[in-house]
Structure 1
Amino acid sequence: MTVLPISDHLLIFRGDRAEKQLRLLKKALAADDIIPYLGPGLLRQSSAAPPVPDGPEAVAAALNIRATAPSRIRSNMWSVAQFIEQRRHRRTVQAWMAEIFAPYAPSTVLHACLATLPLSLIIDSWYDGTMRAALIANARTDVVEIQGVTRANENRDIWTKSYDLSGKELRHSPAPKTVLYTPHGSVRPAANFLVSDADYVEVLTEIDIQTPIPDIVKKRRANRGFLFLGCRFDDQMLRIFARQIIKRSNGPRFAVIDAATMTKNERRFCAECGISLIDLPIGEVAAALVNPAEP
C-alpha cells in the first residue's frame, strides 16, 4: 500500500504515489501555485556535518559551549538564549548567534532550483541565510527579504525589517516579484534573531490575530498551498509559527517527513492543519523536484 491513512486522519504518500505527487508539486512550484517553507533539515543535504547548527538543539549546544545553562533547560534553544540574556545581555545573545551562524552553508541543488523560479513567496524558517545566498548567486534583482526582528532593540512599534539582496534596509519597499520571508530572523545582512523566550513574548501574544505577519505575506499565501521541506514540528514554538503562517491559505499542504520518527504532537498538528506527508528521504525529494523522472 502506498497511501496510508491513519486513525488521526493523517494522509501519508509513499512509493509510486509519492513520486507522482512530487511530479505534481514540481509543476505547482513552476506555476507559482505552492509556497516552499524551508527548514534546517535541508542543511544536511549539502554536508554531512553542516558548518552551522541544523536545528534548535544544535543551537542550544553551541550556546552552552559559551555559557553553560542549567541541565533542565540545556537542550532548549529558546530557554538557553533567555538564560544568557538574563545573565549577560541581549547584545551577548545576538553577538554569539551571529558568531555561530557566521560560516556560509553551501546551497543545495534545491535552493539553487528555487532561486530560478518566479515564486511569489518563499518562507525560510532558519537563521543560516542559505536561500538568500542562492538568490544572490542567481543574480536576482527582484527580491525583497522580510525578516522578523526582536523588539528588544527597537524604539519603534515594528515586527519586521525589509532588505534588498545587497543588504540595504528598505523603509518603503515596492512589491517585488519574490518575497523571501524569514520569520525568525537571519544572520545576514544585519544579524536579526528571534531566539530567546523574551523575543517571542509579544509575538506570540499578537500572532493569533496575525499582527506580526507582513500584509504582503498574508496576501500572497491566500490562494496558494505550502510545501514544507527540511521542517519538523516537534516543538510548540515551531508549530505555532507554522500554523499562523499557513493560516487562511487555501491551497493544499504537504510536508516531507520520515513518518516513522514523528511524535504524537507532530502527527496531531499535521492532521489538524490538513498537511499530507510525503514519506521519502529529503535528498530523494530534492532530486525529484529539481529533475523529476518522466511520468
Structure 2
Amino acid sequence: MSSLLESLVDALARGELVPCLGPGALAGVVDRERGEPIPADSDSLILALNGGRPMSRRLMWEFSRAAMNVELKRGRGAVQRFLDATYAGRPWTQAPLHAWLAGTGPGYVIDLNRDLQLQHLYAERPHVLVRGIARVGGTDYRFRIHVHDGSGYREVEQEAVDPALPVLFKPLGSPEPGSTYIASDADFVDYLTELMGGFAIPAFVKARRPGLRYLLLGLNLDRDTERMLVTELIHAAGSPAGWALIPEPTPRARRFCARQGITIVEAGVEALLEGLAYFDDEACATAGALGC
C-alpha cells in the first residue's frame, strides 16, 4: 500500500477525516444464501427494481429516473417496498470497510447508501441516526433523527440531541427504524432544494462541520446528483477539503474535485483495505472476502 493510502487510513483511525461512503464501499457484499452482490450502484439498483431486466436507455441513466417511472405507474409505495425488501429483507455479508470503520469509533460518518450495515454495527453503542426525508408535510425540515441508547432507537427533535454523541448521517434513508428513502426524481428535487436551503441538515451537525476534512470512498462523482449531494454535505470543509478514492476518474469528477479542494487518489476501496494490519484474521473472517 502506498504511503498516501497508509496516511489516509491512519487519519481515519484517529478521527481526523470524515468518511463519506458511496456505492463502491459495498463492493464484495453478497447475499449469504444466493451469493448475489448487493444492489448498490445505479445500474444494479435499476436492474433489481425491474426484475433483472434493463429499462430504456433514458431510464437506465440514473436510478432516480427509473424509480420515478415505477412510482408514476405503481405508486410511491412500490419503490419503498422494493428498497425494504432489498436492504432489510435479505441476509447480506458484512462489508470489511464498514466493519473496520465501526471498530475505530468515528464521531461522524456520512453514508450515501440505503443499507443497514453501519446501523447494525452501531447497534450496541449510543449514537445519533440522521436520515433524509422528502415530500412530507407538517415540518420545515427534511430529516428524521433517532437516538440509540445501546438497546434501541427513539425518535427525537434536534434540540434534544446530545452533540457529543457519534453521528451516522444517511441522507438517502434506510429501512429502519421505520423506512424512509430519497429515491425518485421527485424525492431528490424536494430534498436537494431543502438541502441547499439549509433545512436538510440538523443544527448540531452544522455546528461540527466547519473545518472538517473528508475521505470520499466508493463515489465516482460522475452523476450530477452525487456531486450536488457532496457539495452541500461538505460545506464549510477545511482547506484542503479532503481526498476521494476514484480508480478511473472522469473529466467531470476531476473538475468537480478541483473546485471543491478535494485531491483524487486513483485507487479503489480495495486498495485502501489491501494488506491492512488493522484487519486481524478474525475480523477478516467475519467481514467476508474483500481485501482479506
With normalisation by structure 1, the TM-score equals: 0.82
Q: Deviations over 1:103-157 (max 9, x none)?
A: 2432233212211224221000001121212222xx222x1110001224x4333
Q: Distance in 1 between matches of 2:101 and 2:78?
A: 34
Determine which of 244, 249, 252 is the counterpart of 1:265: 252
How far does the alpha carbon of each residue in 1:244-267 deviate from its partner, in whole angstroms, 9 at most, with x for none?
111111153111111xx3222111
Letter in 2 for 1:242: V
Q: Which residue number in structure 2 is paired with residue 65 of structure 1?
A: 51
Task: Provide Cα deviations, 1:163-196, integer angstroms capped at 9, x if missing partner.
Answer: 2342332233322421000011112222211010
Instruction: Give the aligned partner of residue 43 of structure 1.
Output: 26
1:81–1:197: 8 Å Cα contact kept in structure 2? yes
RMSD, aligned α-carbons: 2.5
Q: Are residues 289 and 192 of structure 1, via their aligned partners in 2, closer, same or farther at CA, if it must alter by over 3 Å?
A: farther
Alignment correspondent of 1:108: 95
Aligned 8 A contact 1:51 1:104 in 2? no
Instruction: Show the 5 A alignment for 1:80-99.
Output: 80-99=66-85
Taking only the aligned residue pairs, the percentage that are identical comes to 28
**1:121 touches 1:220 (CA, 8 Å); kept in 2?**
no
Change (3 A) 1:251 1:120: farther
2:140 to 135, 157, 164: 157
Aligned length: 269
CA distance in 1, matches of 2:62, 2:218: 19
Alpha-carbon spacing, 1:176–1:157, altered in 2? closer, same or farther (3 Å): same
Q: Deviations over 1:215-257 (max 9, x none)?
A: 2222222122000111221110001001111111115311111
Other-structure match for 1:275? 262
Structure 1: any 5+ residue segments left out of the alignment?
Answer: 1-17
Aligned to 2:288: none
**Gap runs ≥5 in structure 2:** 280-292
Amino acid paired to 2:134: T
The 1:269/1:288 distance shift into structure 2, 3 A limit, reads farther
Equivalent residues in 2 for 1:197-212 (5 A)? 197-212=185-200
The amino acid that maps onto 1:200 is F
Higher relative contact order (CA 8 A, sep 6+): 1
Q: TM-score, normalised by structure 2?
A: 0.82
Structure 1 residues 204-213 or 221-230, which shifts more? 204-213
Q: Are 1:42 and 1:229, in contact at CA under 8 Å, matched by a contact in 2?
A: yes
Matched to 1:26, the amino acid is V
